[in-house]
Amino acid sequence: MTDCSRCGGAMVDMVVPEDGGGAYRGAQIRAQRCTQCAVAWVDTTRIAPRALVGTMLERKREPAAKPCPRCGGRVAKLTLSWDTYWVQIEECAPCRIVAVDPGEYPELRMLLGAAHDVLVSGA
Ligand SMILES: [Zn+2]
Ligand SMILES: [Zn+2]
């Protein structure tokens, strides 16, 4: 990845602090954060059993305005909810990366944690 597909800002590598337990314990969550608009593209291969598009967490899907910064492909803008958690993200399903706005990562983690069994079973 080079530049942010949203604003053209420079992307820097970061590791998302992963202090949760259970399935995430010890996971190294890789991400790239834009130094300009602060959006983080998080690699979900370690935090979600599968791509989030098409799961029962999905409440609303529309095409995102900007392409995937990694493959240049189309990105889905998703509203996900489970239990009392909900979050809006953008996902490139083939790359398994999601764009998360600053401060939304904890909500995403809570949601994925709450829905983990459902995601694993593929319901
Ligand atoms: Zn940006
Ligand atoms: Zn992609």
Query: Would you list the domain boundaries of the chain?
Result: 39-121
Ligand 2 centroid – CA 89 distance (Å): 14
Nearest ligand by distance to the CA of 36 = 1
* pLDDT for residue 30: 86
- Separation of alpha carbons 106 and 110, rounded Å: 6
- What distance in angstroms lies between residue 92's CA and the mean position of ligand 2's atoms? 5
Residue 55: per-residue pLDDT: 92
Asked if 40 contacts 27 with a C-beta cutoff of 8 angstroms, the reply is no
- Starting from the CA of residue 93, give the closest ligand: 2
Q: Would you write out the chain's pLDDT as a tens digit for each of its 123 residues?
A: 568 988 999 999 988 766 665 655 666 788 999 999 999 999 998 888 889 999 999 999 999 988 999 999 999 999 999 999 999 999 999 999 999 998 898 899 889 988 888 888 765
pLDDT (0 to 100) of residue 26 = 63
How much is the pLDDT for 17?
A: 67
The per-residue pLDDT for 25 is 61
Residue 34 CA to residue 44 CA, distance in Å, equals 17
Of 76, 53, 58, the C-alpha closest to 66 is 76
Handedness of CA 76, 96, 105, 40 (dihedral sign): negative
14: helix, coil or strand?
Answer: strand
